[in-house]
Amino acid sequence: MTGGARGIGLEMCRQLAAQGLRVLVGARGREAAEEACRAIGPAALPLALDVTSAKSVTEAVREATGLTGGIDVLVNNAGVSLDRELRPPYVDEDILRATLDTNLTGAWRMAEVVVPGMVEAGYGRVVNVTSSYGSLALMDSGRHPAYRISKASLNALTRMLAAELSGTGVLVNAADPGWTRSGMGGPSAPRGPAEGADTPVWLATLPEGDETTGRLFADRRPLPW
């Protein structure tokens, strides 16, 4: 789990551990990951993981594989929203690069390192935590342009990766947790973390033989790309 030490990520880790999974809690700081693991219980293991660093991703996945023997589920939850007041056509290129590096390229880096092992094992679940803000079918003008473009790009990556891995036993889907109370969503969001975590956890635990892949879901219902 990337971004697993707080908010929706921490709740997803709790729910996955409650279902009997051994959970690897990734966070940029190991202390934050360790604190989260203490809150979850013995099924959780901490990982220092910065998805903006290819070196950190490679080292964290190597450590995770050594601890568990292999990774069956990858939840790309790490994300940032840095441009709340910016509106097109204006662009802050530093914000755009930083947003894409975490929200898109970070997930891509993780998939590049983790997915080959899943293919070799013949089983895997990849869940990209996205937003309906990234749905082209629902896209309009407004705030958060870099965030929205990053999530639209993550959705595209989800579809391409799902198609590439068709028939391998690796399912790739995207989940919109909705507006949830968290560090990003803020205290006024209508949903609690448990509700926001439900759909990503459902996709992460699709049973063997399920063929649901290349889809975008919210509240366990399909959304248009």
Q: List, by residue number, the catalytic residues.
A: 147
Q: Report yes or no: 161 and 111 within 8 Å, Cβ to Cβ.
A: yes
Query: Which tokens sit at 216?
Result: 């975008």
Nearest to 173 by CA among 154, 158, 153: 158
Q: How far apart are CA 180 and CA 11, in angstroms?
A: 11
Q: How far apart are CA 98 and CA 156, in angstroms?
A: 19
Q: How far apart are CA 207 and CA 23, in angstroms?
A: 17
